[in-house]
Amino acid sequence: MWSYILKRLLMMIPTGIGIITVFFIFSEIVPGGPLDQVESLIMDEARKAAESGASFGGANSQAGAMMAIDPQIRLQIKRKLGLNHNALERYLRMLLWFSPDSMISSQEIGNREARKVSFRGQKLMVYREDDAYHVYENSLSIDDRDGEVSFDAETQLFISTLDPSLRFSPESGQQVDGTGALTKVPAKVETESFDEVSYSESGVRIPIKEEREEVYPVQTAWEAFTDWDNWHGYFLLKFPNSITKNKKSYELIAERLPVSMRLGIISFFLTYTSCLLLGIAKAVRNGTRFDTVTSLLVLIGYGIPGFVLAVLLITMFGPSGDAVVHLFPLRGLHSPPEIYNALGPMAKLWDNIHHLIAPIICLTIGSFAGLTMLTKNSVLEQFDQLYAVAARARGLSQRRVLFKHILRNSLIPLVTGFPARFVMMFFAGSLLIEKIFSLDGIGLLGYTALVERDYPLMVSNLFVFTYIGLICRLLSDIGYVVVDPRISFEEHRS
């Protein structure tokens, strides 16, 4: 069994590679990628500014004239999105890749210019002098006050933001008429070739080869190898930034996942527990009035979509004035903070339960109906098996035969659908429910990323839920062995 589990875990790796590969190919082929999204937003703002007679970011201010994003700004956007590499390296960086990141390139800073750079959480100031790049820590403390330096293009000097009389040479970092100095950051320059695009006068993109100088921090081979920031890839759980949210994708998923987990896990176990108890009761009372009435109720519940039931519950039992009875709150996982924070522990618990009742009912009702009928039919099928007939012939009670012999074999069909239903509760099944009840969960996050074409967030969501589904499928296979010891995934050789 352990060898089978190990094989399944290893097989999850090529599955993840395949998913990322397909997604990467589509994101490269289909127009409207991350860079296009950001560029279109900037150009829309530029057109609005041009129509109002204002200038915007160096774009042509004449309304109706063809506008183009400055190549320097465009490369800065690509660096922010992690697109400042060739296609092959971008693909490998999505999987697992070791590669130091550059701080800035020659296309992002002109000669005799300086630019502030944020590199791996460190504030830097970079000054370019022909082919030389001088990098300094952009921090200057005076009298226990933290400040920075800015660049004065006229005097070609760094000036303290706290005390303008403090000035520094951008070539050496030494203070002018003083003994102080800026902290220099060792840097090296490498010339590299990149696949880029140029724009014709009509706005058509033309593929070109571009050579530019990239500025890297100086590190020994061992320092570079052991620097965690030089490693990239989803398999290291290093997720990119969301385009629309300007935040790490894993942080967004971690924020929303508890909401979906609360809904998904509760509704999942409530569904399986209820359908198991009701299915057994219907099988034992097959053909009776109880079986007929519950079958009718189950079929009615099966025919009502969860989102329709959600609207009905809000309309009939919500807080609006037209409601018949005010039973359910309108939105959220709890009351507003000013009310919720003033409650005691038990009152907070009830407040959370009160807000979860309606969404969980809506999530449970659809899958509950199908699983109940499946449980009933599975139990009835086992009633007529020879082992059950023999057990009753030996004088065992109906209850003992049911719970000791029949029930275990009846669980196999339920275990089969475990992975798909569990993942559905987290994502597809909760999307509309989260939208209607204003629950900021993972389903709504994935839908928003899809609508806004936030590719980094989309693939992060896809990666996480793929492995949740694969792990659930493995648990399902293990469940087969638990409910039926006759099943074995080991190879037997005579």
The yes-or-no verdict on residue 231 having pLDDT over 90 is yes
Q: What is the DSSP letter of 234?
A: G
Q: In what order do the strands lie in the sheet with 187-199?
A: 104-105, 205-217, 187-199
Instruction: Express each pLDDT in 253-272 by its tens digit.
Output: 888 888 877 877 788 788 88
Task: Spell out the long-range contacts of 102-105 with Cβ–Cβ below 8 A and sequence spacing 24 or more.
Answer: 102/214, 102/215, 102/216, 103/135, 103/187, 103/215, 103/216, 103/217, 104/133, 104/214, 104/215, 105/75, 105/79, 105/212, 105/213, 105/214, 105/215
What's the one-letter identity of residue 405? Answer: H
CA atoms within 13 A on the CB side of 117: 28
Provide the pLDDT for residue 398: 76
Q: What is the mean pLDDT of residues 409-431?
A: 64
**CB of 423 within 8 A of CB of 440?**
no
pLDDT class of 65 with cuts at 50, 70, 90 = very low
Looking at the chain, which residues constitute the CATH 1.10.3720.10 domain(s)?
249-483
pTM over 0.75, yes/no:
no
Higher pLDDT, 208 or 36: 208
Query: What torsion do the CA atoms of 176, 180, 181, 182 make, to the nearest 10 degrees?
Result: -110
pLDDT reported for residue 60: 44
- CATH match for 249-483 among 3.30.2310.20, 3.10.450.40, 1.10.3720.10, 2.10.10.100: 1.10.3720.10
Per CATH, the homologous superfamily of domain 102-218 is Rieske [2Fe-2S] iron-sulphur domain (2.102.10.10)
Distances (CA, A) of 114 to 29, 150, 157, 249, 373: 37, 9, 10, 31, 71
DSSP structure string for 399-425:
HHHIIIIIHHHHTHHHHHTHHHHHHHH
- Residues 81-135: pLDDT tens digits? 778 888 899 899 989 999 999 999 998 898 999 999 988 888 999 999 988 999 9
Q: In the chain, which segments carry CATH 2.102.10.10?
A: 102-218
